[in-house]
Amino acid sequence: MVGKLSLEIIEFGDVAIKLYVPGYDYVKQKYEAGMLNAAVPHFPYWAKIWPAAIGMCNFISAHTLLVKGRKVLELAAGLGLPSLLTAAYAADVCCSDYLQDAIDVIDRSVAINEYNNIHTRLLNWHHLPDDLHPDVLLMSDVNYDAHEFAILHKVVERFINSGTTIILSTPQRLMAKSFIGKLLPWVAMQQEMEISVPEKTFVSIFVLKKG
């Protein structure tokens, strides 16, 4: 697998993150294997650096006190870019995804960055265990499927009611307005930014808290 990954260096402020990114052939191979082995194959959306992840990293880099010294969990991390940046400031980071392929690539990025305060875990937001008690929850570009909005809202409500601060980043999709609308009572901070990679995209970042 090593030969099918490229290593990118992405800088946010004075922190440089080394990130392994799958190439086209790797993604194609995984998708084709999934079509053969699964009734409903998972398209490897996790294998790309999305604008919402870059936007979240820009936001965290500018507001490090939100995560400094904290226990942080990222759900549906994909390549784990926000988790890797957060590890430069947080006490402990759990970087999770529901696909083992994603976790395998994240583990390589964790190793090359030589972090000792970050670990990975397989987690599915449909079946979250009771032992998750982060100070901060990161959710980047999770609201892309309207069929998932109801369960995602329950996830948000669960963590907010337990005192967790949530940092959520999302591209400005019209179909996601109803999802964002339900979060507005918890919005403590909001920022919009333009991301130019790979093309111009406007991203919204929300900090959600109880009360």
Segments forming the whole domain that contains residue 83: 46-208
Rounded-to-integer distance, Cα 73 and Cα 170, Å: 17
> How many angstroms separate the Cα of 103 from the Cα of each of 128, 143, 147, 155, 174?
17, 20, 24, 21, 30
CATH number, residue 112: 3.40.50.150
Is the residue at 34 inside a domain?
no
pTM of the model: 0.92
Is the residue at 5 inside a domain?
no
Kindly give, in sequence order, each residue whose CB lies less than 8 Å from that of residue 147, ignoring residues fewer than 6 positions away: none
Number of structural domains found in the chain: 1
Residues 160 and 200: beta-carbon distance below 8 Å: no
Within a 13 Å sphere around the CA of 46, how many CA atoms are in the beta-carbon half?
A: 24
Is the residue at 112 inside a domain?
yes
Is the residue at 55 inside a domain?
yes
**pLDDT tens digits for the chain (211 residues)?**
444 899 999 999 999 999 999 986 666 666 566 656 655 556 677 889 999 999 999 999 999 999 999 999 999 999 999 999 999 999 999 999 999 999 999 999 999 999 999 999 999 999 999 999 999 999 999 998 889 999 999 999 999 999 999 999 999 887 788 899 999 999 999 999 999 977 789 999 999 999 8
Alpha helices in 99-147 (DSSP H): 100-113
How high is the pLDDT of residue 33? 64
How high is the pLDDT of residue 1? 45
Backbone angle region of 80, left / alpha / beta, with phi > 0 → left and psi within -120 to 50 → alpha: left
Is the residue at 4 inside a domain?
no
How high is the pLDDT of residue 2? 45
Is the residue at 24 inside a domain?
no
**108 three-state secondary structure:** helix
Task: Classify residue 74 as exposed, middle or buried by CB count within 10 Å of its CB (0-12, 13-18, 19+).
Answer: buried
How high is the pLDDT of residue 41? 55
